[in-house]
Amino acid sequence: MKVGVVGAGVMGTGVAQCFATSGHEVVVVDPDPAALASGPSRVRDGVRQRALLGGARVDPAEVGARLRWTAGLAELAGCGFVVECAPERVSVKRELFAALGGVCGAEAVLASCTSAIPVAVLAAVTAVPERVLATHFMNPAPLKDAVEVVRGAGTSEVALARAVEVLASLGKKAVVVGDAPGFVTNRVLMLTINEAVKVVAEGTAGAATVDEVFESCFAHPMGPLRTADLIGLDTVRDTLLVLRDLLPDPACEPSPLLTEMVEAGRLGRKTGQGFHTWRR
Ligand SMILES: NC(=O)c1ccc[n+]([C@@H]2O[C@H](COP(=O)([O-])OP(=O)(O)OC[C@H]3O[C@@H](n4cnc5c(N)ncnc54)[C@H](O)[C@@H]3O)[C@@H](O)[C@H]2O)c1
């Protein structure tokens, strides 16, 4: 099947890798020339990393040959499934969903990888709300076995079944949830991260210690601040703003320390520095 991925950042690249590794032809659309230029090598690195971590050994060149990188949304024509992975901003995603219905195939399922924006908000701008849902992949997408699938009030049984089937073709289990700001995952996780940032700002403990508490005492594989670095602090901040506006809940107001770090370009793993230092 021809698949579209909109946005070639952290998630778009990982999602594109999942589809191409499973034999799908993938068109990746991004307006940023730097994202398009670095996409192929990021996928190659991702394929090698997955093999090192015990995943199937596949030829990175073969995977790369199934991917086309472009700035043109029109190249999504004929796609049967599209995953939108653009930044977590309501205006950006609504503009894309308004265009996608007209560009993609007549039967195409339009899925968003949004962290928190309800499906209803995106479906409302399309002529095909029954084909809109969210496939909230986890990060890094190629290494995670399950996807939070969000069914909107208007999502059809057919579209939902297609999404579950397509995810199964990637070896991923769909966990279907209802439609609400942040769904299940980020209604809980984003508030936890925000509180952890406040703990650091208040001086109760440094970032390493906060994470150690979760990792050693709770046996979580990764503490909230390491998780925030992995997500991208800009994406965490944008997701909190979505939750604050839609819930609305003052607890979702991003901690001033988080905003400061984003403004200073300390975005976490993708820039090498966040609450922790990362090798790039
Ligand atoms: N990072 C995570 O851990 C994570 C996990 C699950 C879901 N998400 C969600 O996935 C989406 C993407 O997040 P990300 O971390 O990959 O962000 P990112 O900032 O790494 O990448 C976003 C990409 O979208 C591109 N873009 C900007 N405007 C666009 C447009 N109009 N059309 C197409 N592409 C456009 C940017 O150039 C960039 O390459 C967000 O909605 C985010 O909330 C993120």
The three-class DSSP label of residue 84 is: strand
Beta strands in 12-51 (DSSP E): 25-29
What is the pLDDT, as a whole number, of residue 64?
A: 97
The alpha carbon of 51 and the centre of ligand 1 are apart by a number of angstroms equal to 25
Confidence at residue 54, expressed as pLDDT on a 0 to 100 scale: 84
The predicted model gives 83-109 an average pLDDT of 95
Residues 145 and 200 in one domain: no
Whether the Cβ atoms of residue 34 and residue 10 lie closer than 8 Å to each other:
no
93 appears as a binding residue in the annotation: yes
Residue 201 in any domain: the answer is yes
The average confidence (pLDDT) of the chain is 97
pLDDT at 56 (0 to 100): 81
pLDDT of residue 55: 83
The predicted model gives 35-42 an average pLDDT of 98
Structural domain contains residue 16: yes
Does the beta carbon of 31 sit less than 6 angstroms from any atom of ligand 1? yes
**DSSP character at residue 55:** -
118 in the same domain as 11: yes
- Residue 280 in this model has a pLDDT that exceeds 80: no
Instruction: Determine the distance separating the centroid of ligand 1 and the alpha carbon of 11, expressed in angstroms.
Output: 6
One-letter-per-residue 3-state SS of 222-248: CCHHHHHHHHCHHHHHHHHHHHHHHCC
Is the model's pLDDT at 155 over the cut of 90?
yes
Which tens digits make up the pLDDT trace of 221-235?
999 999 999 999 999
Task: Give the model confidence (pLDDT) of 197-219 as tens digits.
Answer: 999 999 999 999 999 999 999 99
Q: What is the dihedral of CA 34, 101, 161, 186, to 10 degrees?
A: 50
Q: Identify the pLDDT of residue 226.
A: 98
Residue 105 pLDDT grade (very low, low, confident, very high; cuts 50, 70, 90): confident
CATH number at residue 219: 1.10.1040.10
- The answer to whether residue 55 sits within a structural domain is yes
Give residue 133's pLDDT.
98
Please, which pLDDT band fits residue 43 given cuts at 50, 70 and 90? very high
The CATH number covering residue 56 comes to 3.40.50.720
For 221, the domain range is 186-263
pLDDT at 267: 98
Pairwise CA distance, residues 136 & 134, whole Å: 6
Is 15 one of the annotated binding-site residues? no
Q: Is residue 257 part of a domain?
A: yes
Q: Which atom of ligand 1 is nearest to the CA of 14?
A: 16
Pair (72, 54) in one structural domain? yes
186 in a known ligand binding site: no
Question: Does 253 score more than 90 pLDDT?
Answer: yes
Q: Is 276 a catalytic residue?
A: no
Say if residue 70 is in the same domain as residue 96: yes
pLDDT at residue 57 tops 90: no
Q: Do 246 and 156 sit in the same domain of this protein?
A: no
Answer yes or no: are the C-beta atoms of 53 and 143 closer than 8 Å.
yes
Q: Summarize pLDDT for 62-93 with one digit per residue, the tens.
A: 999 999 999 999 999 999 999 999 999 999 99
- Domain end (from 146, 177, 208): 177
Domain-located, residue 280: no
Residues 78, 197, single domain; the answer is no
pLDDT of residue 38: 98
Q: Which of 177, 201, 220 is the last residue of a domain?
A: 177
Is residue 58 a part of any domain in this protein? yes
Atom of ligand 1 nearest to the CA of 231: 3
Q: Is residue 273 part of a domain?
A: no
With a cut of 0.95, is the ipTM above it? yes
Given 24, 136, 220, 276, which residue is catalytic?
136
Q: Is 113 in the pocket of ligand 1 (CB under 6 A)?
A: yes
Q: Ligand 1, from 10, 28, 119, 189: best to mutate by most atoms within 8 Å of Cβ? A: 10
Overall number of domains in the chain? 2
Residues 21 and 157 in one domain: yes
Residues 82 and 149 in one domain: yes
Q: Does residue 277 lie within any of the structural domains?
A: no
Q: Please tell me whether 54 is known to bind a ligand.
A: no
